Amino acid sequence: MVSATKKKRAAVLVLLLLVVTASSVSADAALAHSVNAAIANPNAANTVATSISIHSKSSTAPYLLASAPTFGVTLIQFRKHYNQTNPTLPINKFRAVHEKGSLTPFTRAASKINENLYASTVLENGSSKIKTLQITYLPINGEKGKEAKSVAISYMAALMRQFQARLSVQQSISDIVNLLERGKGVHFYAYSVGAVRYVVVDNDKKGLTFAVEPVKLVLSEHDSTS
């Protein structure tokens, strides 16, 4: 029999990750040491704070729009590469999440990392290419909570490095900690680096989500006529 607590946590996960919109949203010892150091000094050098901007609420999350771009890889390709480059921070197989009566042009899928940490995605129907990748942490209290958040930050940093391969482990962790600090209590907090947008969604005790999404690049008038 599934406990009421597990049912509640599952419901929260669906709310935060799999039906997320901008309006409703609104390891090893070395990694642990890096995370703790970054948390103790969130204003360290090599941060991305100046690139962050706050987006206003809207009725639909950007990646759910019909015109939203996709990454040029399938989920299978991404997960294979991610697990090869992060053997100590593996992501398990994703499973589709079906919604009754839904006729959306995309598929939602989720992967349980542990009791307090989940990965999720939205895929374009037909091509199975990725529209968003998300890591969600469901907070717990006490000493176990500190350890669990450290693991969550390590996963978020590993996801960031998939799109910024030149970042070191320490730098990516520092960037994540700064992102989470500046997105604290904000419904939708994001910044873009080239063709990638990073998003923080903070729902306090209900959960914390870090997402990576592709950005549609628009040619300037000079580029389009040259």
Q: What is the pLDDT of residue 92?
A: 95
Local structure of 118: helix, strand or coil: strand
Residue ranges of domains in the chain: 27-216
Strands of the sheet containing 196-202, edge to edge, are 52-54, 189-193, 196-202, 208-214, 130-137, 117-124, 106-114, 95-97
- Cα distance from N-terminal residue to C-terminal residue, the chain: 65
Amino acid at 74: T
Where the chain has pLDDT below 50, the residues are 1, 15-40, 42-59, 219-226
Interacting residues of 55 by C-beta distance below 8 A, sequence separation 6+: 22, 188, 189, 190
Q: What is the pLDDT of residue 125?
A: 84
| DSSP output for 17-75 | IIT--TTT----HHHHHHHHHHHH-TT-SS--GGGEEEPPP-SS-GGGSTT----SSBH
Q: What is the pLDDT of residue 101?
A: 60
Q: What is the pLDDT of residue 143?
A: 82
Decide: 107 and 120 in contact? Cβ < 8 Å: no
pTM (global) more than 0.85: no
Both tokens of residue 164? 């910024």
